[in-house]
Amino acid sequence: MTIRVAACQVDVDVDDPGAEAVDAAVREAASAGAQLIVLPELAFSGYVFESIEEARLAAQPLDGPYVTGIRRLSQETGSVIVAGFCELGEGGAVHNSAMVVQDGELLGCYRKAHLWDRESDFFTPGDAAPLVIDTAVGRLAVLICYDLEMSDWVGTAAAAGAEIIAAPCNWPLLERPAGERPLEVVKAQAVAGAFKVHIVVADRCGHERGVDWIGGSVICENTGYPAAGPATGDDGPARPVVLTADLDPASSRNKSLGPRNGVWDDRRPELYWIGCP
């Protein structure tokens, strides 16, 4: 049985966050029949903070307006929604988090474990395994941006039975050879194929305090090949878009790589990381 998924690429700005673009993107995805809707990392607050104080002011607890608004949207649209947000935790700690909401209820919250560059100046990293939960669209895992580049972390989610990985991202635009896909997109395809798990990446776009963004939203099938996207090629600046595709969650349970090989069957962990820190 297939489900329709959507990756919503929106323009977010820390100086003018506004929830209108998020609301509009979710409704567009739902109108297209999406049962799973994924929004970018820090979708409500923006990313380029100048201080921990600014990040803390933008952060909200799990019962704050960010989560409450997405709960309302999920109930109205009947969809499962994964959205990145700036979470205010215990003792004033700030986390780069993502919520999973279904039928108006918060099913879970994941805190990004692997922090990129200056994120460690603002955020306290998560210290739990990837969130993997049963939902109306199948067994769903959540990773955030740089987490997706840690193949061990993706493998941990796949080993826990994830059929689809939802990945809210903020991919900064870096130089690359002409005609080449961004390395972040290539890595998402690679781990999707390596662990035979669908991956839905919702990137962001726009310009924010001197940073441009890839706008590389992509929906990868568990073959590693894109079912939709990447959203932005070499045809101009990244722009808002809603990508949709139909995926079969149950197909991710088959980890065979052919008649004689398999994702887990061929591993030899007793040989890995020997002598490494």
C-alpha span between 130 and 277 (Å, rounded) = 22
Considering 145, 169, 205, 220, which one is annotated as catalytic? 145
Phi, psi values for residue 33, rounded to 5°:
90, 15
Residue 187 known to be catalytic: no
The three-point CA angle 179-43-160 to 5° equals 80
Considering 8, 86, 109, 112, which one is annotated as catalytic? 112
Q: How many CB atoms lie within 10 A of CB 86?
A: 28
C-alpha span between 41 and 173 (Å, rounded) = 15
Residue 76 known to be catalytic: no
26 and 73 in contact (C-beta within 8 Å)?
Answer: yes
Tallying the residues shown for the chain, one arrives at 277
Burial class (CB in 10 A: 0-12, 13-18, 19+), 99: buried
Can you name the residues that pair with 225 across neighbouring β-strands? none
Q: Transcribe 147-211 into DSSP letters.
A: GGG-HHHHHHHHHTT-SEEEEE---B-----TTPPPHHHHHHHHHHHHHT-EEEEE-EESEETTE
Residue 169 known to be catalytic: no
Residues with a known catalytic role: 41, 112, 145
